[in-house]
């Protein structure tokens, strides 16, 4: 089992051209134990529950930023969209000694309604 620290908020590009994750004070953070072989959809389900997100009107974007090294200085946020990308995150998470945090952005789902006139 792994302790996964997750925070909700938005990525912001600062004036000095670095990416920072700005915490959503209302949604905050969560610490959860997960299996290291968890699937993308199972993780999303856990996060939706922990952060009490209405999945019928919102979607989650999962991302992280690599811990700075000489080859990753000024790296952009990396998004997790499937099991393969989650496995890469878990590998990097283990390599970092658990220092990576999972960043969540909650986005409203926009629905387009077309009217048909007769």
Q: What is the CATH number of the domain that holds 47?
A: 3.10.20.90
Mean pLDDT of the chain: 88
Pairing of strands 19-23, 2-13: antiparallel
Give the Cβ contact number of residue 94 at 10 Å. 12
> pTM of the predicted model, to two decimals?
0.83
Which pLDDT does position 15 carry in this prediction?
Answer: 85
Which pLDDT does position 118 carry in this prediction?
Answer: 63
Residue of higher predicted confidence among 115 and 93: 93
Which domain, by its residues, includes 38? 2-108
Q: Which two tokens stand for residue 84?
A: 């393969």
Identify any residues that bridge with 22 across adjacent strands, giving them in sequence order.
Answer: 10
Measured distance CA(90)–CA(23) in Å, rounded? 22
What total of structural domains would you count in the chain?
1
Indicate whether 116 belongs to any domain: no
Backbone φ and ψ of 70, nearest 5°: -60, -30
Measured distance CA(58)–CA(64) in Å, rounded? 20
Q: How many CA atoms lie within 13 A of 4 on its CB side?
A: 26
Indicate whether 118 belongs to any domain: no
């Amino acid at each position: 089992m792994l302790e996964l620290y997750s925070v909700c908020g938005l990525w912001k590009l600062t004036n000095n051209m670095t990416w920072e994750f700005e915490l959503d004070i209302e949604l905050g953070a969560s610490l959860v134990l997960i299996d290291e072989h968890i699937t993308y959809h199972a993780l999303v389900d856990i996060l939706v529950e922990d952060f009490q997100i209405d999945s019928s009107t919102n979607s989650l974007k999962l991302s992280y930023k690599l811990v700075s090294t000489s080859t990753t200085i000024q790296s952009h946020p990396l998004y997790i969209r499937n099991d393969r990308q989650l496995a890469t995150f878990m590998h990097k998470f283990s390599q970092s000694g658990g220092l990576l945090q999972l960043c969540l952005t909650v986005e409203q789902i926009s629905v387009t309604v077309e009217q048909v006139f007769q």
